[in-house]
Structure 1
Amino acid sequence: MSMEMEFIRVLPSPQSLMEDFPISNKAKKIKVQRDKIIKDIFAGNDDRLAMIIGPCSSDNEDAVLDYVSRLAKVQEKIKDKIFIVPRLYTNKPRTIGVGYKGMLHQPSPRGEEDMLEGIIAIRKLNVRVVEETGLTGAEEILYPEIFRYLSDLLCYAAVGARSSEDQLHRMIASGVGIPVGLKNPTSGDLSVMLNSVAAAQHSQEFLFRGWEVRTKGNAFAHAILRGYVDSTGQSVPNYHYETLTKVIQMYEGRDLDNPAIVIDTNHSNSGKKCLEQVRIAKDIINSRKLNPDIKQIVKGLMVESYIEDGCQKIDGGVYGKSITDPCLGWEKTERLLLDLADML
């Protein structure tokens, strides 16, 4: 029986793409240094707050580079308190995967899908970020096979709410070699989230890119709270003090390495009201101040931010404005980062 899919072409291997779009020795050193810092944060050896921040979806190379360059300038001012990791989410489609599918599929948002041009575009974007700004980014592991094309460039990865129950995503997370956050599922089930963390912390054997592979397990796999949707379709936040103490208790009932929580201030935590992220981020810092256990376990925040507030249609044409989820604009973002550093 034949499968009902058209085999279009064999794509280049990650190794060959890395050779075609290499990084400098200076950039390799930056990656090693930043990997060590973020692992130290999750291991509790560095008390800075990790801030995973940037566009919902990286749709335009020049605007993303402009945005990350601005972040790099702020990072210098707050480097004693906050460690910034730019979100470089290049696989991120609209929720149902119809319309815009992210830079990986559509290097030009209004263009045709082209996976070859897509893997080149996402590689080039990530190379430019580290070479030009000195920051290494975060990516969502949406399509596990794609991660390898960027594995020499990233310092953080996230597994989304719809993927964290999937066994392949859990197994990939166990072998990526950098801290990886697994989001609570859209149902909000916290035990499922911690099952995902446990799976990612264990050694796994599986099929990957035509190979039988074995991982050592990822000691820096951790939970991301992003809110959830109840049975009536209403957004329910899970960043509050009470939930954080509950997750601490749940962690205590399991034998997991480096217990840690990152809180996504957007999505169902903000009810997709992107400007609420400012209030939510400050609320979380206050919870950390009130309770030393919360301070110890909440290692970072995730914020959706870009150059302009809000979002637009694909053909909107506004530079630096999201074409997927609404984002916090630059002025509010810079103010938020400086305010949080003052609070810490």
Structure 2
Amino acid sequence: MIQFLLENTNIEAFEPMPTPAEIKTALPLTERAATTVATARQTLTAILDGTDRRLFAVVGPCSIHDPEAGLDYARKLKALADEVAETIVLVMRVYFEKPRTSVGWKGFINDPFLDDSFRIDVGMKRARAFLLAVNELGLPAATEALDPIGPQYYGDLVSWTAIGARTVESQTHREMASGLSTPVGFKNSTDGSLEVAINAILSASHRHAFLGIDESGRTAIVRTKGNRYGHLVLRGGGGRPNYDSVSVSLAEQALTKARLPANIVIDCSHANSWKKPEYQPLVLKDIVHQIREGNGSIVGFMVESFLEAGNQPLRPREALKYGCSITDPCVDWATTETMIRSAHEVLQHVLPERKRNGSVS
């Protein structure tokens, strides 16, 4: 009888991975962290509903590669968050997964040692430990959902989720978003298209059923309720920014046509700043100006920021500059403080009287 090898012909190995339940048992949710997450989610949904007049801001490194530097940054951000809490709800950007156009470092969970050893088991434990530490400070965390299994391991420690420009058209990510327990921001696609993101918001608001895993690591049929807190994130694309008032107005019209709430977050980085960190303060100034002039749809903004300005190539860990990004370039901490404080100073006189365009129904 002729034998054929028909399965796993390009698989090198299957290695055991701890289940979500095992990692959560080793790193359990604390009361302090749970309070941080629950309070932040409630606040963010209130902002999207229009019952809380403040803005929210997702601020932090492009990606986490050094937990020590990340926690140094988190402590500074927590102090700033307390200072501007009257007007801006700060949420730390804690991104562990990086989508790649071709190849490259895919993030802390995938390769925590930065050496192509791909110890995903270690990365997942360390990612959860980092999120616990951030939430223990009383600072909520935001992340990008890339791997559909990941939320089972750390979703209880996330307050806001992004679906990125490269995955916004993916059915897998729309289905996943429909079951997430956080508000979800859908970025416009890399070519600048709003239609893809709006379709994603609509899709994620409905019920879905798909294959996933449960906390015990067993394959399961995941049945979702639908997520009513999807919203649009403008990040530029197709060779131009889209944070200006005309682009925002067009986005409002597109959301209204789709019978969606006019809730818009603006990413100060990526194509909106041509990936030049020095332009991010200019984008934020424009956002604040639009709100001061009567805009009622902008509910938040995003800033890529770290301890040191710019970025650096991936090298052996001991050769890396402390507190400097190894992915997209960031503004430094001093610039971050100036940006947020300046926005706060203007917005504290504007937001109390601000009229919102609409709310989640």
Q: Pick the TM interval, shorter chain.
A: over 0.9
Q: How do 1:45-56 and structure 2 match up within 5 A?
A: 45-56=51-62
Distance 2:184 2:152 in 1: 14
**2:28 is the counterpart of 1:11:** no
Decide which of 321, 333, 337 is 1:334's aligned counterpart.
337
Partner of 1:223: 232
Decide which of 127, 147, 153 is 1:122's aligned counterpart.
127
Decide which of 66, 70, 81 is 2:72's aligned counterpart.
66
Decide which of 252, 255, 264 is 1:251's aligned counterpart.
255
Distance 1:159 1:319 in 2: 28
Distance 1:266 1:260 in 2: 19
**2:199 is the counterpart of 1:190:** no
What is the deviation of 1:96? 3.4
Distance 2:48 2:13 in 1: 42
Partner of 1:80: 86
Partner of 1:284: 287
Partner of 1:144: 148
Partner of 2:359: none
Distance 1:97 1:25 in 2: 41
**2:179 is the counterpart of 1:175:** yes
Distance 1:23 1:207 in 2: 26
Partner of 1:301: 301
**Which amino acid is the alignment partner of residue 60 of structure 2?**
G
Distance 1:155 1:337 in 2: 20
Distance 1:286 1:201 in 2: 32
**Which amino acid is the alignment partner of residue 111 of structure 2?**
Q
Q: Deviations over 1:82-122 (max 9, x none)?
A: 000000001125x3353322101111223521111111111
Distance 1:168 1:34 in 2: 26
Partner of 1:158: 162
Aligned length: 333
Contact 2:91 2:140 in 1 (8 A): yes
Distance 2:202 2:174 in 1: 9
Structure 2 stretches of 5 or more lacking a match? 1-5, 214-218, 348-361
Distance 1:333 1:121 in 2: 26
Distance 2:343 2:102 in 1: 35
**2:111 is the counterpart of 1:106:** yes
**Which amino acid is the alignment partner of residue 105 of structure 2?**
Y
Distance 1:138 1:30 in 2: 12
What is the deviation of 1:188? 1.2
Partner of 2:358: none
What is the deviation of 1:6? 3.0
What is the deviation of 1:48? 0.9
- Cα distance change of structure 1 residues 43 and 7 upon mapping to structure 2, 3 Å threshold: farther
Contact 2:32 2:138 in 1 (8 A): no
Distance 2:104 2:259 in 1: 43
Contact 1:227 1:267 in 2 (8 A): yes
Deviates most, 183-192 or 158-167: 183-192
Distance 2:89 2:156 in 1: 19
What is the deviation of 1:8? 2.2
Distance 2:17 2:307 in 1: 33
Give 3-state SS (helix, strand or coil) of 1:275's partner: helix
Partner of 1:312: 312
Contact 2:32 2:135 in 1 (8 A): no
Q: Deviations over 1:139-159 (max 9, x none)?
A: 101112112211110100001
Distance 1:97 1:70 in 2: 35
Percentage of matched positions with identical amino acids: 35
Decide which of 45, 48, 51 is 1:42's aligned counterpart.
48
Deviates most, 36-45 or 325-334: 36-45
Q: TM-score, length-normalised on structure 1?
A: 0.94
Structure 1 stretches of 5 or more lacking a match? 230-234
Deviates most, 318-327 or 145-154: 145-154
Q: Deviations over 1:32-59 (max 9, x none)?
A: 1111111111111111110001000101
Q: Deviations over 1:164-193 (max 9, x none)?
A: 000010011111011101111111111111
Partner of 2:27: 21
**CA RMSD for the aligned pairs?**
1.3
Give 3-state SS (helix, strand or coil) of 2:149's partner: helix
Distance 1:181 1:5 in 2: 34
Deviates most, 63-72 or 310-319: 310-319
Distance 2:262 2:253 in 1: 11
